[in-house]
Amino acid sequence: MRRFDGRRVMVTGAGSGIGQGIALRLLDEGAQLVAADVDITGLTATAEKAGDAAERLRTIEMNIADPDSVRPAITQTLEFLGGLDVLVNAAGILRPARTHEMPLEVWNQVITVNLTGTFLTTQAALPALLATGRGVVVNLSSTAALSANPYLACYAASKGGVNAFTHAIALEYAKQGLRAVNIVPAGITSGITTKSILDLPEGFDPELFSRMTGWLNGGALGSPEDVAGVVAMVASDEGRYMTGCEIRVDGGALM
């Protein structure tokens, strides 16, 4: 199935994890794609995994939290693609800590990357998306925004903000043909998940993590491919009647 033949796509956070999985899936379905990330090594790995589809791929170093990095990256994206049909905001960070011990700089870093970074990238890309008359913004949220997740107060707050931001732009630009959707995963096998487990505070309570994984596959973590398949549907014409909503990809964690 090649639902993205002729479609121009940008994916942030495409150097690893969910972002990389989405980029590879959309390339496989025919997209012309820009993969953006702050991690150049990760982007090289994405290009290698793309195989023959790499001829339709451009990788761009971009720090989504820095407007002076975002603006030229969007300019380069539009020069390469000749426009933009789909933006997938998958870049993000996670910094677990007990809330009463969390340094303000850590709180600010997570909010700046996850929420402000999503805003900056979307804001810069909106004129091009609106010019198509059928632009799509897919934002990666988290079940942490919808249910209690321990030691993740700043992450949960940032993703709750992403949910609200997505609803706002979905309504604001609906008459101009824009769609905006939140994808809401639970625990997914990726570098960010592995790092967060290693960084959990000493003496953490494992019983508090009952909603981090779903009931499918014996409670195992999901994979980036599980999320990528849903993004491919939502961002394609098959998702044409979906906007301003959340789609959970959580193995039933919140059912």
Phi/psi of residue 238, nearest 5 degrees? -65, -20
Tokens of 154: 């700043």
**Sheet of 179-185, strands arranged across:** 57-61, 32-37, 8-12, 86-89, 136-140, 179-185, 245-249
**Taking the alpha carbons of 237, 255, 91, 164 in that order, is the dihedral positive or negative?**
positive
- The closest alpha carbon to 31, from 90, 80, 89, belongs to 80
Q: Are 195 and 94 in contact (CB under 8 A)?
A: yes
As a whole number of Å, the CA-based R_g of the chain is 17
Query: Do residues 15 and 35 touch, judged by C-beta distance below 8 A?
Result: yes
Half-sphere exposure of 2 (CA within 13 A, CB side): 9
155 is catalytic: yes
Catalytic residue IDs: 155
